Chain A
Amino acid sequence: MKTTTEKSAAIDLPRRVAIKHAVALAGAPWVLRHAHAQSMDLGPYQNAKINWRQAEGQTVNVSCISAVYFDNLIALTPEFEALTGIKVRYDKVPPGQIRQKVVLDLSAKTANISTHAADPMYIPLYAANKWTEALEPYLNDSKLTDRAWFKPDDMVEAWRRANMIDGRTYGLPFMGETTIQTYRKDLYDAQGLKPAETFNEIIANAKALHNPAARMWGFCMRGMPGAGQNMYIYPSIFRAYGAKWFDAGGKIQVNSPEALAALEWYVMANNSYAPQAAQNWNWPDIADAFSQGTLASYIDGSSAAPVLTNPDRSKVIGKIGYARWPKGPSGNRVGSIWNWALPINAALPEKARHATWLFIQWACSEETQARTSFKWKGPNKRYDVNRISMWKNPDYLASISTAGHNFINATIDGMTLDSDVDWRPRVPQWPAIGETMAKILQSTLVGQIKPKQALDDAQIQVERIMRGS
Chain B
Amino acid sequence: MKPAERLAFAERPERRFALAMAAPGVLVLIVTTTLPLLYLIWQSMHNINLAMPGMDRFMGLENYERMWGDERFWAAFGFTLIYTGSTVAMQLVIGLAMALLILRIPRAQWVFRIAAILPIVLAPVVVGLFWRSLMLTPDFGIVDFASRSLGLGSHNWLGDPVLARVSVIVIHTWQWTPFVFLYMLAAIAALPSDLFEAARIDRANAWRRFRYITLPLIRPAIIVVVILRMTVALSAFAAIYAATGGGPGTVTEIINLYAYRVSFAELSLGYGAAVAVVLLALTMLVAALLFRVRREA
- Residue interface bits A420-435, CB-to-B below 8 A is 1, else 0: 0000000011111001
Min CB distance A274 to B, Å, is 11
Given the known A-B contacts A435-B261, A442-B249, are A125 and B138 also in contact in the complex, defined by CB atoms under 8 Å? no
Which stretch, B15-23, B174-182, B200-208, B265-273, touches the partner chain A? B265-273
Pick the contact of B267: A431, A440, A442 (CB < 8 A): A431
From A125, A224, A276, A448, B51 is in contact (CB under 8 Å) with A125
Given contacts A128-B51, A277-B138, A448-B161, contact A465 B266 (CB under 8 A): yes
Q: Chain A: which residue is nearest B266 at the CB level?
A: A432
B51 touches A428 (CB 8 A): yes
Chain A residues near B51 (CB, 8 Å)?
125, 128, 428-432, 465, 468
A152 to B244, CA, bound (A): 41
Query: Number of contacting residues on B, CB 8 A?
Result: 36
Cβ contacts under 8 Å, B266 to chain A: 431-432, 435-436, 465
Interface of chain B, main secondary structure:
loop
With A103-B267, A280-B132 known as contacts, the answer to whether A439 contacts B66 (CB < 8 A) is no
Determine whether A198 belongs to the interface, using a CB cutoff of 8 Å to chain B. Answer: no
- Taking a contact as CB atoms under 8 Å apart, the answer to whether A276 and B161 are in contact is no
CA–CA, A218 and B154, complex, Å? 19
Query: What CA separation (Å) do A435 and B247 show in the bound complex?
Result: 12
Instruction: Report the minimum CB–CB distance from B245 to chain A (whole Å).
Output: 6
Chain A binding surface, main DSSP class:
helix
Cβ contact within 8 Å between B261 and A276 = no
Q: Could you say which of B50, B52, B140, B159 contacts A107, with CB atoms under 8 Å apart?
A: B50
* A277 interface neighbour in B49, B55, B137, B261, Cβ under 8 Å: B137
A87 to B251, CA, bound (A): 46
A457 to chain B: closest residue by CB: B71
For the complex, give the distance between the alpha carbons of A155 and B161 in Å: 45
The reply to whether B55 and A468 form a contact with Cβ atoms under 8 Å apart is yes
B119 at interface, CB cutoff 8 A: no
Bound CA span A128–B50, Å: 9
Closest chain A residue to B268 by CB distance? Answer: A432
| A294 surroundings in chain B (CB, below 8 A) | 140
Q: Given the interface contacts A431-B267, A448-B249, does A469 sit within 8 Å of B138 by beta carbon? A: no
**CB closest chain-A residue, reference B133:** A285
Q: Are A446 and B140 in contact (CB under 8 A)?
A: no
Which of A215, A277, A440, A465 contacts B159 (CB under 8 A)? A277
Query: Cα distance A385–B264 when bound, in Å?
Result: 31
Known: A100-B265, A103-B50, A446-B160. 5 other contacts (CB 8 A): A225-B247, A275-B138, A277-B156, A428-B51, A448-B161
> Measuring CB to CB, which residues of chain A are less than 8 angstroms from any residue of chain B?
96, 99-100, 103, 107, 125, 128-129, 212, 215, 223-227, 275-277, 279-280, 285, 289, 294, 428-432, 435-436, 439-440, 442-443, 445-446, 448-449, 465, 468-469
| Interfacial residues, chain B to chain A (CB-CB below 8 A) | 47, 49-53, 55, 66, 132-133, 137-141, 154, 156, 158-161, 241, 244-251, 261, 264-268
30 contacts between A and B (CB under 8 A): A103-B264, A107-B50, A125-B267, A128-B51, A128-B52, A129-B50, A225-B248, A275-B138, A275-B139, A277-B159, A279-B156, A279-B248, A289-B140, A428-B51, A429-B52, A431-B51, A435-B261, A435-B265, A435-B266, A439-B247, A439-B249, A442-B247, A442-B249, A443-B249, A446-B156, A446-B161, A446-B249, A448-B248, A468-B49, A468-B55
